[in-house]
Chain A
Amino acid sequence: MRKLFFILAFLLSVSGGVNSQVINKVPLSPRITGYTIDAKLDPATKCVTGKMEAFWVNQTTETVPDIQLHLYMNAFRSNKSTFYKEFGGSPGKDSAAIGWVEIKSFTGKNGIDLLPYMKFIHPDDKNLSDSTVVKVTLPVAAKPGDTVTVKINFVTKLPSQIRRNGYRDDFFFVAQWFPKFGVYEPAGMRQRNIGGWNCHQFHAHSEFYADHSVYDVKITVPKEYVIGTGGMLLNESDADGKTKVQTWRAEDIVDFAWTAWPGYAVFTDQWKQVKITLLIPKTRLEQVERQFTAVKNALEYLDKNVGPYPWPHLTFVDPPAFASGAGGMEYTTLFTSESFYKVPGTIHLPEMVTVHEFGHAYFMGILASNEFEEPWMDEGINSFWEERIMDHYWGENSGMIDLPFLKVSDKSLSRLTYARSGSRQVITNNEYSWNYPHNTYDMMSYEKTATWLYTMMGIIGEDATNEVFREYYKRWAFKHPSGKDFVNVVNDVVKRIYGDKFGPDMNWFFDQTLYGTGVCDYKVESFRSSLQGSKIKNDSTVKSLMVTDSSKMAIVRLDRLGDIMLPVDVLVHFKDGEEIHESWDGKSRFKDYTYYGEKQIQWVKIDPDYKIRMDVDFINNSLTIDPDRVPLRRFSDKLISFMQFLTSIVTL
């Protein structure tokens, strides 16, 4: 291993740093930004002192007069920051608890001091007390092709753990810690009319947006600390007997975070070309195998159905319980999971977190959507894939919980969270992340999106859905797709596979699900058989069969109760075993089917395979003359014996 590090370090030194390739032969992304950082962690003061040299290349055809950078850590400076105003509460007055980043010096080309040109801006909310975005007017505007190089000396004070960031005792998770370029979006990119910087403040509900970059990061920590980063370790040296210096290299990732804690045990595994490293508390080794299985399953599934995982390395961290606040976050080639000591194998929570956070390597890492503005594109799409992976590998009905008496699939949790939310209609799925009212950010970004993506898959099929994502990857990997770009991919792929079967495009689907607030609810209102003329009504208060007129025809009556109109299958089953399959475009408020002759209907089902998962009530999707009461009787019998045993056990 050491030899390899030496070779890599040598290659790096002779080939000129950030502009050359070390990990992948060919750059995966355009070299727009790059960072070389020398960082030193002082565990006593909880500060990281950094010397950074960074560049931004104007690859647009526009002349850009300024640069904008995020100073995310200032969100934790005081209760006046936009983060705290939205989040509520306060970091308190304790200087040990707050977080901040301070720029000590800021120079540009030829050593010109840029500090006088620097000012805090507040593009989102005009909150003058927020200092999470800084704008530097360039002494000379950057013309197309120009490279803006800056040198910044900074000190980052880590907060007491908040938002997966900061420290707990001797545990450190160092994220959003250095001054970081926003994304310059030229006119036309992500449907922008006028070019400009996309550099949002740090909000309570928001994540991040950045260009794919190269990182050369030197980290100095006390010797006993174990470090994990999203890069590849190139070199390690002993600084002064007490500290060590590690040199890390990362390419084509949108963020560079790292962790340091003396309590980590390090494990490695291999999946194809990918070397996987797991950092886990030394006291929780029983979870190691589960974690590797989960991440390898996710790699296999996404590699097969979306596109290749293009890095030869991947590191993930299972933080200790006392610092579990760091769990469940993604930095592309580094992510954090969350398991617990002795968490039973029947509860797939650690696997779910691992699969989810790894999935962000694709949905955000490779397909670098704007998490501030279109959170459904990372959290929602990624939740959809997480649920598919969990239910594929851990059981279609037991992806989440696999107990003998209770099995829960992962996908069912997102549907029921969305379907039972009282606020499911207050806002569309297409909002900036901090604009979601009534605590709907999670439900909308994660659960509603996953539910309508499942619905889309129900309509166009699994193969076509995978093809959509393969095409999305092909077109948009290492770029910044917008929601509209995703919709365009769906339209193109569906057209290619199905022609006009679903209309000229799929916009009708997205207008209702992504851009609309309606709900979907189809109902079998009633049906009537011929001859005996028995009519059965889907109304639980009417239990007996109502006898009406008899004629030689059977009628099925369907209702659309919700605003959303989706094509649905209808299956009519007759007593003689005959089945008739109907396809209803689902547009009208009601639909009647009439069958002539001596027809005895046994049951009618709308969407018999439960493909339209947006339907908020599956119970009224079917109607039968002889409902199966066995499960209910079984349930009540078990309930009776459970209560009998319980009362007998707890009394003397």
Chain B
Amino acid sequence: MKIFKALGSGCHRSLKVWKGILIFWFISLSLVSLVAFPMKGIMKTGFGQSAITGKLLNGIDVEVLSDLGAVYKSLTHSFSAGLLLLLLLWLLINAFLTGGLFNSLKSNDEKFSAGEFFRASARYFLPFMVITLIISAILILLALILIVIPMGGVASPDNPNESVPWLILIISVSLYILISQVFVLVADYARAWQVKNEKPACFRALGFGFSRSFRRFLSSFPMMLIIWLVQTMFVLLVLKVIGNWKPASGFGVFGLFLLSQVLLYIRFLLKAWRYGSVTSLKELNDPLPSSEATVNI
């Protein structure tokens, strides 16, 4: 029952910090636009006053794109370079902003304050960055061990049984999803602990994250799976909606932009739901005298 209590509380907490999520969304949009707008400019220059863009109304046309010639090359270069830069920047910014978010998600009666949000972001930036880097490194290593190495072993075309690599891939990816959730849980517990203990202490936080994840495994892990499932279904839904919608008018494109940003906001909300649920579960399981543990659930 604790799981559902925590999920409910997480939902409540995430809605309460909707302004903080707005900050997340706004910074994400601004940052990505920095990369996307130059690309739009390159495309506009490449097509000039040509009427051929009408041919793109039904979707990407490889022939038209390839006719951009050198412009197409600079487009792909700026995409790959931009994406890499974006990922690195977002790693930093995400570590910064989650500090404020976790801080706002812990149980308290105060109203959301942007000032406190950024103060907490600054306060916890370093420990959050270390936690992010260590857990990300573990996740990458895990992918290497669970997916890349086994696939490299069996994916050889010399394998006469063609279904085996597929089977291994499905098992590997499933295992990765399951095990990676444990480490995500560790990161979330660690961060929830950190914002409760105001002094930056990332390794103690991680220690707490690991011990709490394993000691309370039976309640925490299924909760993470439920959240993962909801988030994955949401992302698939977004892919379907955004991927298939091809508005042909300026008004329609504006609608597409609005919808995609609303969906992105919901995506951040769902992430905050996870943070909030883990925070709530942590507080539920915290040893009693800690009287605040029962507040807000």
Contacts and interface: CB of A to CB of B under 8 A. Distances in A.
A643 B83 contact: yes
A624 B32 contact: no
A586 to B, nearest CB: 19
A38 to B, nearest CB: 30
Contacts of A341: 162-163, 165-166
A444 to B, nearest CB: 18
Contacts of A342: 166
Contact of A640 (B29, B244, B252): B29
A623 B52 CA distance: 8
Contact of A540 (B45, B53, B160): B45
A97 to B, nearest CB: 15
A507 interface: no
Contacts of B69: 420, 617
A324 interface: yes
Interface stretch (B9-17, B118-126, B258-266, B279-287): B258-266
A169 B260 CA distance: 53
Residue among A168, A415, A637 facing the most chain B CB atoms (10 A cut-off): A637
A538 B50 contact: yes
Given A322-B158, A627-B53, A632 B132 contact: no
Interface string A305-326: 0000000000000001110100
Contacts of A536: 49
B84 to A, nearest CB: 11
Residue among A407, A538, A643 facing the most chain B CB atoms (10 A cut-off): A643
B3 interface: no
A624 B87 contact: no
Given A630-B249, A634-B253, A647-B90, A619 B67 contact: yes
B267 A645 contact: yes
Interface string B10-51: 000000000000000000110011011101100111111111
B63 A416 contact: yes
Interface in B213-251: 235, 238, 242-244, 246-250
Interface string B110-133: 000000000000000000000110
Contact of A644 (B28, B61, B243, B271): B28
A617 B67 contact: yes
B132 A652 contact: yes
Contacts of A191: none
Contacts of A407: 58-60
A541 B184 CA distance: 49
B160 A622 contact: no
A563 B66 CA distance: 21
Contacts of A416: 62-63, 66-67
A623 B162 contact: no
A558 to B, nearest CB: 14
B141 to A, nearest CB: 15
B162 A539 contact: no
Contact of B159 (A263, A321, A652): A321
A391 B204 CA distance: 62
A210 to B, nearest CB: 32
Contacts of B39: 636, 639
B66 A419 contact: yes
A541 B157 contact: no
B203 interface: no
B20 to A, nearest CB: 15
* Secondary structure type dominating chain B contacts: helix
A635 B43 contact: yes
B44 A632 contact: yes
Contacts of B242: 638, 641
Residue among B60, B90, B160, B249 facing the most chain A CB atoms (10 A cut-off): B160
A628 interface: yes
A404 interface: yes
B53 A639 contact: no
Contacts of B43: 632, 635-636
Interface in A403-418: 404-408, 412-413, 415-416
B54 interface: yes
B52 A538 contact: no
Contacts of A645: 235, 238, 264, 267
A630 B44 contact: no
Interface in A589-643: 603, 605, 616-625, 627-641, 643
B187 interface: yes
Nearest to B191: A652
B44 A619 contact: no
B260 A638 contact: yes
Residue among B29, B49, B56, B86 facing the most chain A CB atoms (10 A cut-off): B49
B149 interface: no
A387 to B, nearest CB: 13
A636 B40 contact: yes
B151 interface: no
A624 B53 CA distance: 10
B53 A651 contact: no
B89 to A, nearest CB: 9
Contacts of B79: 639
B256 interface: yes
A636 B86 CA distance: 16
Contacts of B271: 648
7 tightest A-B contacts by CB? A540-B48, A631-B56, A641-B260, A622-B51, A341-B162, A647-B90, A416-B66
Interface of B: 28-29, 32-33, 35-37, 39-40, 43-54, 56-64, 66-69, 79, 83, 86-87, 90-91, 94, 98, 131-132, 135-136, 157-163, 165-166, 184, 187-188, 235, 238, 242-244, 246-250, 252-253, 256-257, 260-261, 263-264, 267-268, 271
11 contacts: A168-B158, A283-B162, A342-B166, A419-B66, A537-B49, A619-B52, A644-B28, A645-B267, A647-B32, A648-B28, A652-B98
Given A322-B160, A641-B242, 15 more contacts: A397-B58, A397-B61, A405-B243, A412-B63, A420-B66, A622-B52, A631-B53, A632-B53, A633-B40, A636-B36, A636-B40, A637-B253, A637-B256, A647-B28, A651-B136
